[in-house]
Chain A
Amino acid sequence: MQRIGVFVCWCGSNIAATVDVEKVSQVLAQEPGVVFSTNYQYMCSQAGQEMIQQSIKEYGLTGVVVCSCSPRMHETTFRKTCEKAGINPHMVEIANIREQCSWIHKDKEVGTEKAIILGRAAIAKVHLNTPLTAGTSPVVKRALVIGGGIAGIQTALDIADAGFEVDIVEKQPTIGGKMTQIDKTFPTLDCAACILTPKMVDAAQNEKIHIYSYSEVESVKGFVGNFNVTIKKKARYVDEVKCTGCGLCTEKCPQKKVPNLFNLGLDNRRAIYIPFAQAVPKVATIDADYCTMLKSGKCGVCSKVCTAGAINYQQKDEFFEQQYGAIVVATGFNPIKLDKYDEFAYSQSPDVVTSLEFERLMNAAGPTGGTLLRPSDGEHPHTIVFVQCVGSRCDDEKGKPYCSKICCMYTAKHAMLCREKYPDTDVYVFYIDVRTPGKNFDEFYRRAVEEYGVHYIKGMVGKVVPQDGKLKVQASDLLGNRQLHIDADMVVLAAAIEPDETARPLATKLTASMDTNDFFTEAHPKLRPVESPTAGIFLSGACQGPKDIPETVAQASAAAAKVIGLLCKDNLTCNPCTAEPNELMCNGCSSCEKVCPYGAITYVDKEFRGPNRTTLIRRVAQVNPAVCQGCGACTVACPSGAMDLKGFSNQQIMAEVDAICR
């Protein structure tokens, strides 16, 4: 018989307000095996933990039940507490009487009754707990970063700084991500390329960092400390080693009518291209959708002009495998498609642009060489209307339900830059709210209004009508209580941002969870913001939620710190709750082997003692505890009931069922 101690936590008033903690501890004291029962204001505090440890020693407890918050919160805390007092950490069970009781019920009587039942279930389980010892598994000292934008680059640099190998997998031909397309950054207005490109070069030159550009993650197997990743290197039809990045081919290619995606289709490039001058790696790539040679076998100009002999039309996609201890997701974001919002005439007029397109039109390396010109006729615009919250903050069926966070600030930046460069332009910004919670952000916005004379109007644009070379904007001015009609030259839409389309399939490969908007979820929204709930998977940048550059970089470094913390260890403690077969009952049917997602089960021939002093050789299952993750699929598949899961055994769960139904 176990000697069990019950500790009921008040959690201040969080539990005590709807659960009579005194009664709970008194009633549970009557349960068989309970030798001590008490309650305390904050069980997780220093004093509370000491109380548990003292009681363990004083009453010779062999098992502990803590009635408190969710085990996802403090199970580890209490296990450590008990371990220090000399009992096995797996002799502790938590009854979740906060998240699953006091917080969801208002009636104290109901809450108390339920808390008692939950406590009983935990006690019933502890009776059947056995001390468990965790094994260890080695850590591969190499990290994978998926996505080579500013988030991925920063994470990789920080991990490499600590002395670990890092691979960056980037689907585009160059690293750099969205930040390469941005002109200036708020609120300091320094040039994005000037602060980003040195980092790109650092990453390329760092011995510990290996960049796989134009590559994608094909599949992921394994678990924390030991992931096995297959990477697909897409055919770029150019030998990366031989190519010197001279760019001659990109000038001679006769296929000139390829939309330049780096400039968001605002101008054209050739079928063989280097995205931009500072690309890393600076290697040409052939766009197979447009290349005449690849499509019809007639051309070959690039191959003729290439003195390095780097062009290879026969190149195929390559696949290779690599082991990693940790994986960082940094897949970033994209502006949404605007076909649902054509009241702004985005598809009808080239002068209606998204904010990212506007960045290119302002950028010295952009299609207009940095002079702001209308895409339709190349004239200077004199009246520019900015519209915020396009597709953000919507009802679910109308768009994205969240605030895209960065739009208020970049719109203020755009408006300010327009007025600064071209003081003769009238700039209107239509807003619902101006949200500027960041260091020096509100000051920046106020400067746009006060010093730069940007017209901020509380209201929305309802309709844009392209007519006679103008954009007739119909909008509301809520504070002026009037409808406005503005003849604009350009309309700039602050389109909502959404996670990259590769994020969802990647999450499935990683078994990392996502929210309903396809942003990756973090292990804890406040306390573990850079870890995914899946061990060994970390989150960096906008794949976790909309973020500006400073936040992205901060999160990227935080993710790196977590990765370093993991890679520093030589071994990881495994989950001790693994499957274990009872060899005497196992009949060697292989049912468990077939369902195991990790291949942790093998079969061995073993000698058993038979009747009349004979020896029998039987085929029985064997579980590799370092590989088993403890899902329990095999325990249910086993027809003879030989397979059981430590920590969640059939007996334990049934004891809980009994206690609840009693």
Chain B
Amino acid sequence: MKRILILGLMAILVMGIYNYAVYDPYQKTTMPFEERDSQAYLSRSVNGDPGEVVYGKSTNLENGAANTVAAIVVDYRSFDTLGEVTVLFISSLGVAFLSGGFGKTIRLKHKPSFLLQYGARFVFGIILVFGAYMFLHGHLTPGGGFPGGAIIAASALVLYLGGESSGEKMKAFKILEGAAGSLYVLSGIVGLYFAGFFMQNVLPSGIVGHLFSAGIMPVIYILIGLKVGSELTGILDYFMREEVSS
């Protein structure tokens, strides 16, 4: 009974929101796409109209990434992404804090089968490379630093499943994580002191669609990828460990 009631409440809530904010048959409260801010991202015309942007031809755009979403994430609204990275960072810190430090790795109850044990090592490299591809190619195709990092972490997960233990490698991950994060912020500060704005795209943007095109974007994606990868791996690792009894 109680549950039905609550379900009803939720329905009323959904109806309320939908009815008064979303449902808009006459387009009264909906801004047409053409007038939204995001149009400027599509046409790369935030700081001046460059005319029609053509794949493989346009050069010296304010942002040379073919992937507009990536352009927004890493360039136009890169500050958000810094925050995003920070969220992940603080989550991993939180997991670390809650886990109470480095304990012994929890042994899985079952022994991994032969196929898993060796298959994991075999797949590990392939996944790793795929992850790297993801963040290197993020400004051109769907993907980017976060999926790339997650894929890298997935490769670590596969290794765990295969019975590997991370051991002392975590230290290195920590350093990687810290360094990548610091470099990200530093790149922003570099922009601030060399070009006048925090996180300014200081590198030249090449031709739209080329690998070396979007200025600092690929670099940042690499940093993000590394950082996210090491962070997620770290989180995984913390979950796999016992608490240090202190």
* A and B found bound together: no
